[in-house]
Structure 1
Amino acid sequence: MTEPATTPDAPAWFRQALAHRPEHRQVPVEGVPIAYRVWGDGGDAGAPGVVLVHGGTAHAGWWDHVAPQLGGHRELAVELSGHGDSGHRESYDSHQWAREVVAVAAREGFDRPVVIGHSMGGRVAVTIGVDLPETVSAIAVIDSALNDSPPDEERVRERRRPHRVYPTAAEATERFRTLPPQDVVLPYVRHHVARASLRKVEGGWTWKFDPRVFGNLLRLRDQLPQLTPPTVLFRCQHGMIGEAMGREMARLVPDGMPVVELPGAGHHPMLDQPLALVTALRTQLALWPPKVR
C-alpha cells in the first residue's frame, strides 16, 4: 500500500480529501487477487453505493481526491486485474473486468450501486450494464469514446513492451505521462497518482500495470444499444468525444442518454478539472436512484 503523496502547493481541499483515508482491501476473483479501496461508513439511508472504475493503465488512487467529496454515499474504487495492486492474468477482456467489479461490490454488500467509469473503465461499466444489468441501479460514463476503428497495431505493440526500470521513484514520477497525452495536469494531483502508480523491483522502480492489458476492449457502438440501466455520459470539452459523437452515442441507447459537458476538461478530468467533475457527479447522484421503468 502506498502512502498518500502531496506537494507543498496542494490546496486545502485536496489535502482535506486525502485526509479521508480509504481502507485498502483485497478479495480473490476467479483466481486472482483484486485490490480495492473503501470510503465511508455506510452513507445516507437509501442512498445507493458508488463504485468507481479507473481507466486503462491507471489505478484506484486516481479517485482518492474525488471519492471523499461525493458525500452521502459509501464509495469504493476497484483496481481491475492487471492494474495497481491487483494480480495479473494471462489475458484480459471487458467481460472479465465487469465480473471483477460486480464481485467486489457484492463482497462489500453494495446493493445495486451506481457504477462510474472513466475511459476504459466506462467501457467496463457499460459491459456491466449489458452483461449484468440487475446488479446496478445506474451508470455514469466519463469520456469513453466509440472508437470504431481497431487500435493501431504499432501503438499496441509499443504499449505492450516491458516497462523501463528507473533508479529512483522520483525519476520515475517525473516520467509519468497520461494516455492519451493531456496538456494540463494539476501538479499536486499528478504527483499523487504518479507516485502510487509505481512498485519497487530489483534495480529500482517501475509501473504497476501489466503491459498486456491493451487491445481487448469491446466496441461501445455494439454495446450501447443493449443498455437497459439508466446511463449518463460526461463528455470532456477537450477529451475524446466531440459534440457530434456525443449525440450519436445518446441515440444508440434505447431509452436515450443525457450528455453533460465538463467545460475546460481534458480526457482525464480528475487530473485537470477535479472540482468540476465532483460537482457534476454530485449533481447526478442527487437525481438517482431514478424512477423504475
Structure 2
Amino acid sequence: MIKRLIKQWDIQMMVVPAILFIFIFSYIPMYGTLMAFQDYNIFKGFWHSPWVGFKHFRMFFDSPDFWTVMRNTIVISLLKLVVGFPAPILLALMLNEVRKVAFKRIVQTLSYLPHFMSWVIVAGFTMSMLSTDNGSVNILLQALHLIREPINWLSTSDYFWGILISSNVWKEIGFASIIYLAAIAGVNPDMYEAASIDGASKLKQIFLITIPAIMPVIIIFMILAVGNLLTAGFEDILLLATNPALRDVSDVLDTYVFRVGIKSSRFSYATAVGLYKAIISIGLLTMANLIARRSGNSLW
C-alpha cells in the first residue's frame, strides 16, 4: 500500500485539502463538546470552568420546551423525508421519459436554479408571494373567489409546516434529481428495448427496470436521510418563522440551540442539546445502515 501511495503521490496530494478541511472544521471543533459537561465561563476557559456532569442534559429533558422542540423536529423532519425524498426521484423518472431534448434541458435548468439561491432570497420570495399586501397567492385566490379577504399565511401556525415543506421541495428538487438522472443514464438501453418487444408499457418499464436499477442509489441516500432525521432545518425555519407566534410549530433543535446558545449566551446548555442531537443521529444512521445491509446496499 505504501508503494502504491508513493507511485500515486501527485494524485494523493489532491485529497490533502479535503482531509485538512474536514480535520479543521469537523474534528477540532469536537473539543468544544467539553462545554456540555461544564458551567463554561469564557474567561476561565475549558480547563478552569467547573465540571457539572450531566446537569445540562437533565435541564433540557426537564425543560417545558423539550417536548415542543422534539415534536417539531420529528414532524418537520418526517414531512421533509416523506415529501422531499421521493420528489427528486419522481422528477428524474419524468425527465428521463421526455424525448424533446430542448424542452428537457429547459425544465432541468429551471428546476436547478433555485438550489443556487440563498435561503435569504427564497424566504424573501416566499414572503412576497404570501403577503397580505399585493401577494400573488392571495390575489389569485381572491380572483377565483376561494377567499374573501387576504390570509396572513406566515402568521398562522396551521399553514407553516406546509409552506416550509413546499419551499424546501421547490428549492432542492431539481439539484437532487441530478444524481438519480445520472444513475438512470447508466441503465442498459437494451433492457428497455427487450421489455418493449415483450409488450411492457412505459409505466411497467419504470417499475420493473428503472427503479430496481437505481435502487442502490436510493437506499444510500435513504440511509443518509435517516441519519439526518433530527436535522429539521435551520436557515429556512429561521428566515420563514420570523413571527414569534409561530414558535410553537417552528422551534426545532437547531433553532433552539441558536436561541439559547447565541442569543441567551447559555453555551454549556446549548452544547449539551447539540451533543444530544448528534448522539441520536449517529444511532439512527447506524440503525438505518444495519437495515439496508440486509438488501446488500449499505455505507459500511
* TM bracket, shorter-chain basis: under 0.3
Q: Return the structure number with greater relative CO, CA threshold 8 A, min gap 6.
A: 2
More helix by share: 2
More strand by share: 1
The TM-score, its normalising length taken from structure 2, stands at 0.23
